[in-house]
Amino acid sequence: MRTNWAGGGRVFGYARARRAMVAGSALACVLETLTMSVLLRDWPVLDQVVPVLGLFAVACVAALHASSVARPHLLDTDTHALRLRRAARADVVVPLGHIASAEGELRVARRRADGELDLPVGFRTSVTLQLAEPVTHFTLLGRRREVDTVHFHADDAELVVTTLQAHLHAVRRGRTVPSTCPGPPG
């Protein structure tokens, strides 16, 4: 995985924790396809359709994992923003000037409270951001939510927190770039 970004910044992965789950899901799809082929061998039309559906299911599982690998979290030093992602489902830009604190905190994802955003992997998060100013998050269907606490997972949470704290210290000293608020994705 790349550790630098073309625009100047650093990427932080979060897909390592889901490798075993993805491998297990792909194996389950293959076993289900083989089992269904044996059970449906007396119906030739269905026997020809099931392997195609099984291959499609394995491709979907692989694509889900690939989207997590290809879209890591990004600390963009040019725009002084942290871009948090969860596959293709979530993409939140948090200006560094809005972050009050960043801490490593391993927690199990639970029912979200008002003003909180959870971006878990395997039902857990490892980094918590407390925001001084709320940021706008657009849900998958385009609904707008204001969040002031963000919980997300990173493969190396300690590295994320120390890198963020160093950049936060530098931004608080400089404060030369105005904060930007993103529009809806698309």
Please give the pLDDT value at position 5: 52
pTM check: above 0.75:
yes
With a CB cutoff of 8 Å and minimum separation 6, the contacts of 60 are none
- Residue spans of the domains in the chain: they are 12-70, 73-174
Query: Which residue matches tokens 């979530």?
Result: 90
User: Mind listing the pLDDT tens digit for each residue in 134-179?
Assistant: 999 888 888 898 999 999 999 999 999 999 988 888 777 765 555 5
Which stretches of the chain score pLDDT less than 70? 1-8, 174-186
With a CB cutoff of 8 Å and minimum separation 6, the contacts of 95 are 79, 80, 81, 82, 135, 179, 180, 181
